């Protein structure tokens, strides 16, 4: 597995941002799917700086949403799309037609899944999928036990996800389901980056890279992807 360990979270974020900028130089109309959550925030800020200083151009790319809490949207503080809009789309004035996000408030969530599946299919797959890892090994909201062969689907959230997910909200928030890209999308993405930083993620990263490949630990699927990078900081590295 191509693992790279960076000295600190800033070095990790700078590298990831430059990597995205470079991809967009090669393929300006690339389809990107970027995780929300704490891990990529510094990467988004670094990417915004690159764009604002003329070193990255995000005018022609397309963004596909990775996941969302069912019942929430971009204006709900703590939602997955909230962070993307705050840290990336708003500062870069990304046009609405560049953004294909789940409507997790839709009456028919299954139709919403098929709509996003179709967007990805029509664009020939994801050029880049950047994900973090959950404390239970989840990728996006693919919880332990999710079939590797799933495309977009509704997931019942694991207890760990509900508990850890409270960090995104200023008050205790009821979470029960997510709408998410599936791991088959990950397998079909042209390139995958799994990012993690900090000591608390060291054990799940170790398990993802060196444990058995099993649906009980979704991130282990990364071992099967032919073009995956695992980028972590030194605090997250326990071999």
CB of 180 to ligand PGA, least distance (A): 10
- 143 noted as active-site residue: yes
The edge-to-edge listing of strands for the beta sheet with 228-233 is 3-6, 228-233, 192-196, 128-131, 31-34, 62-64, 99-100
Catalytic choice (112, 127, 143, 233): 143
Shortest distance (Å) from residue 197 CB to ligand PGA:
9
Which tokens sit at 153? Answer: 């689907």
Question: What residues make contact with ligand PGA under the rule CB under 6 A?
Answer: 37-39, 132-134
Q: Is 49 a catalytic residue?
A: no
Tell me the closest approach of the beta carbon of residue 10 to ligand PGA, in angstroms: 16
| Nearer to ligand PGA among residue 133 and residue 179 (C-beta) | 133
Q: Is 67 a catalytic residue?
A: yes
Please pick, among 19, 112, 127, 136, the residue that the annotation labels catalytic. Answer: 136
Q: Which helix (H) or strand (E) holds 99?
A: strand 99-100
- Among 19, 100, 138, 153, the active-site one is 138
Q: Cα separation of 75 and 77, whole Å?
A: 6
Is 142 marked active-site? no
User: Smaller CB distance to ligand PGA: residue 34 or 109?
Assistant: 34
Name, in order, each residue with C-beta under 8 angstroms of 21's C-beta and a sequence gap of 6 or more.
Answer: 47, 50, 51, 55, 56
From residue 239, alpha-carbon distances to 3, 60, 204, 205 in Å are 10, 39, 11, 9
Q: Which is nearer to ligand PGA, 56 or 131 (CB)?
A: 131
Q: How far is the CB of 165 from ligand PGA (least distance, A)?
A: 8
Spatial distance between the Cα atoms of 179 and 41, rounded to a whole number of angstroms: 21
Residues serving a catalytic function are 67, 136, 138, 143
């Amino acid at each position: 597995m191509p693992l790279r360990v960076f000295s600190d979270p800033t070095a990790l974020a700078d590298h990831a941002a430059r990597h995205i900028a470079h991809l967009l130089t090669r393929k300006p109309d690339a389809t990107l799917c970027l995780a929300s959550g704490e891990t990529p925030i510094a990467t988004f800020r670094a990417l915004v700086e690159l764009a604002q200083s003329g070193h990255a151009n995000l005018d022609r790319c397309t963004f596909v949403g990775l996941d969302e809490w069912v019942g929430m949207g971009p204006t709900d503080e703590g939602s997955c799309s909230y962070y993307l809009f705050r840290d990336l789309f708003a500062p870069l004035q990304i046009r609405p037609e560049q953004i294909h996000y789940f409507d997790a408030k839709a009456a028919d969530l299954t139709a919403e899944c098929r709509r996003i599946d179709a967007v990805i299919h029509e664009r020939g797959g994801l050029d880049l999928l950047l994900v973090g890892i959950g404390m239970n090994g989840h990728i996006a909201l693919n919880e332990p036990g999710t079939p590797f062969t799933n495309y977009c689907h509704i997931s019942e959230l694991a207890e760990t996800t509900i508990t850890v997910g409270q960090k995104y909200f200023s008050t205790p928030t009821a979470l029960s389901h997510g709408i998410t890209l599936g791991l088959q999308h990950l397998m079909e993405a042209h390139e995958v980056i799994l990012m993690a930083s900090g000591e608390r993620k060291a054990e799940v990263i170790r398990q993802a890279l060196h444990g058995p490949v099993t649906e009980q630990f979704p991130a282990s699927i990364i071992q099967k992807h032919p073009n995956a990078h695992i980028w972590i900081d030194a605090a997250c590295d326990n071999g």
